[in-house]
Amino acid sequence: MAQAEAIILEHMANEQFGVSELAKALHMSRSNLLRKIKKHTQLSASQFIRQVRLREGMALLKDTSLTVSEISYQVGFGSSSYFIKCFREQYGYPPGEVGKGTVQIESEKIKPNFLKKYRWPTIVTASILIVAVSFFLIGKKDTVNRLETKKSIAVLPFKNDSSDSTNLYFVNGLMQSALNNLQKIEALRVISRTSVEKYRKTEKGIPEIAEELNVDYLVEGSGQRVDNQVLLNIQLIEASTDTPIWAEQYNQEVVDIFTLQNDVAKKIADAIETVVTPAEMEQIDKKPTENLLAYDYYLQALDPFYSRTPEGLEKAIPLFEKAIEHDPQFALAYADLAISYYYLDIYRKQKRYTDLINNYSDKALLYDSKNDVSLISKALYYMHTEEYRLALPHLEKALEYNPNSADVVQVLSILYNSYIPDTAKYLKYALMGIQLNIASNDSVSKSYIYLNLSNALAQTGFTDEAFTYINKSLDYDPGNYYAPYLKIYIQYAKDRDMEKVKKSLLEVLEKDSTRLDILQEVGKMYYFQEDFENAFKYYERFVAIRKKQNLSIYPHEDGKIGMVYEKMGLDEQASELFKAYADYCERDESIYKNASMALKYAYEGKIDQGMEQLKIFALQDHYQYWILLFLEKDPLIDPLKKHPEYKKTIQKIKDRFWDNQAKLKKSLEEQGLIS
């Protein structure tokens, strides 16, 4: 614990330094780290890291004249508002009150930290011990890995024992509550609702279902509501033997519904000997509302809400509103209202529900800031307003309260792929997502899950694995719109045959000549081969359609397109395209900004400035494999090739990529995400 705290202090200002990074620094697996921290502190690893950060923040507030905003960034919080919120939760008052004399600070919380003073001797001593222990454990690797494997469980759809079909929503609500409570236990891997829904009317047996879901245990249940009584039969089945290891019949008044739901989760955890921390038990014991009528309306809304269709969401919204009428402090209902409006607005160019999403998510957090759904709703608001970095702390916090949330994992995967590029985190969450959600309802959903994983693997240079999963994606849905496109590039990563890429892309384009993504890709292949005349044929069509439809897609390609227009003597249009590219470079906040700026300066003849930007990019981590495959083929970079530091810098980019990939592979193996 002393070493862990010392390492956190060393990385205090790095907001990206989290559980995975701490585990790596300690040379242990993530799951082993989680167990050790829980044993000594009763906190999750994320809570422990945050506690160290907050204690350091308290010391800085007391001993320095820095502002709250300055301190929040010094101690690794991405935003001062989130620091203030966490600080208030930890100490019971805002950080602004420290130093005003209005609060009594406990001396042990602000005294000079022993570890901060003696951190390096502590780290060195502990590191020597870890090396010695690792030699002892190396022969026991298989045993350790088996011990670190999470127990896995799926809650199958409960059956309605009543002849009244309208009773189904209540039984589904019982199933959802059992699932939600189990998902809060980090020591378990709990399969998502979407993955089990297809077994509602199945004739398959327990062993077959367990094999498809890749789980150790299954929960089966049936029930009904008769007047004011709830009748529930539930059993926990061990998959390997197809034998019930716990079963119970409940016959209780509706007024005890929450006690019943919580009792089920606790007894299942006990039956499979799973460690439940005090913090997790507190989450399980929490009642969503004291008003049973409000809860009944909420349960009625869930089935249409989970459909995610406009019709379903429009049916769910008035039911959530009725729930709030009966309990104006019902956090879950507010959160699901915000999420409903987010999905209604998601594909609209002109957003209609921004204020509603914001207001409802704020109320959800006001009434329960420690609820994963409340936090998800606020994160979706920030995604709605394209403030993607502000969504991250809410999603990471949500994952603390619900470590099995397939929704959170999916959104994090999207963010780290498209909006805050980080290939290592993208792959991590893609792998987590496939563990929680691979048994989705239909083959189309499975196809897109495998597509996402294949893309993440390809971006991180695992081309053989990427090829395996892109083929699985196409096996499940040969009509998948994007899988053939990705497969073409994975094949290129394996054989480096650009003519083959071009031919394959043209075959895709023949099936749909309006596809802008393929049009610009074909143009780009000719561009890389410096066949500017043929590149122009496809780029011209792309630019015309993009302008006609008033789209702002592929702004990072405007430099390439501009060069092609210039080669064709269209100087005015070329100038407009290069200006658009320069504007894009200035706006870009991703890890690729310096690479883009290097190309911009190279085109402008500012060779030294371009080289400086390329050298800065060479210090970045977790960029896409495509950079290695295509950066040097871009004619825009040609002027930099004469610079004496060019070859050394390009080699540094390549070496850094492969070093990062090796570390990533080791980290994912330790977390049990790959074998």
The string of pLDDT tens digits covering residues 84-100 is 878 877 877 788 777 55
pLDDT tens digits, one per residue of 139-172: 333 322 322 347 889 888 888 887 776 677 777 7
Q: b/e map of 376-413 (b: 16 or more CB within 10 Å)?
A: bbbbbbbbbeeebebbbbbbbbbbbbbbbbbbbbbbbb
Question: Given a cut of 60, is residue 129 above it in pLDDT?
Answer: no
Number of Cβ within a 10 Å radius of residue 629:
15
**pLDDT band at residue 50 under the 50/70/90 scheme:** confident
Check if the beta carbon of residue 461 is closer than 8 Å to that of residue 625: yes
Higher-confidence residue of 180 and 440: namely: 180
Query: Which of the residue ranges 175-179, 467-471, 523-527, 616-620 would you say has the lowest mean pLDDT?
Result: 175-179
Query: Which of the residue ranges 84-93, 465-474, 522-531, 603-612 would you say has the lowest mean pLDDT?
Result: 84-93
pLDDT for the residue 442: 58
Kindly report, as residue ranges, where domains of CATH 1.10.10.60 are found in the chain: 2-146
Question: Given a cut of 60, is residue 532 above it in pLDDT?
Answer: yes
Question: Given a cut of 80, is residue 620 above it in pLDDT?
Answer: yes
**pLDDT band at residue 488 under the 50/70/90 scheme:** very high
Q: Please, what's the largest Cα pairwise distance for the chain?
A: 84
Which H or E element spans position 159? strand 159-160
Q: Measure the CA–CA gap between 5 and 25, rounded to whole angstroms.
A: 11
Kindly report, as residue ranges, where domains of CATH 1.25.40.10 are found in the chain: 288-410
pLDDT tens digits, one per residue of 224-239: 887 778 888 889 999 8
Q: Measure the CA–CA gap between 34 and 16, rounded to whole angstroms.
A: 18
Q: Measure the CA–CA gap between 431 and 43, rounded to whole angstroms.
A: 25
Q: Measure the CA–CA gap between 10 and 122, rounded to whole angstroms.
A: 12
Number of Cβ within a 10 Å radius of residue 1:
13
Tokens 């499940």 correspond to: 476
Superfamily holding 150-285? TolB, N-terminal domain (3.40.50.10070)
DSSP line for 215-276: -SEEEEEEEEEETTEEEEEEEEEETTTTEEEEEEEEEEEGGGHHHHHHHHHHHHHHHTT---
User: Mean pLDDT throughout 68-74?
Assistant: 81
Alpha carbon 568 to chain centroid distance? Answer: 44
Q: For residue 288, what is the DSSP state?
A: S
pLDDT tens digits, one per residue of 183-219: 888 888 888 777 787 788 888 888 888 888 888 899 9
Kindly report, as residue ranges, where domains of CATH 3.40.50.10070 are found in the chain: 150-285
Superfamily holding 2-146? Homeodomain-like (1.10.10.60)
Question: Given a cut of 80, is residue 619 above it in pLDDT?
Answer: yes
Q: Measure the CA–CA gap between 439 and 664, rounded to whole angstroms.
A: 26
- The letter for the amino acid at 176 is Q
Q: Which of 189, 22, 138 is nearest to 673 (CA)?
A: 189
DSSP line for 441-490: SSHHHHHHHHHHHHHHHHHTT-HHHHHHHHHHHHHH-TT-SSHHHHHHHH
Average pLDDT, the chain: 83
Residues present in the chain in total: 675
Check if the beta carbon of residue 381 is closer than 8 Å to that of residue 342: yes
Please name the residues in contact with 467: beta carbons below 8 A apart, sequence gap of 6 or more: 454, 487, 490, 491, 494
Please name the residues in contact with 138: beta carbons below 8 A apart, sequence gap of 6 or more: none
Alpha carbon 670 to chain centroid distance? Answer: 19
Q: Which CATH number fits domain 288-410: 1.25.40.10, 3.30.420.10, 3.40.190.290, 1.20.120.530?
A: 1.25.40.10
DSSP line for 545-571: HHHHTT----GGGHHHHHHHHHHTT-H
**pLDDT band at residue 46 under the 50/70/90 scheme:** confident
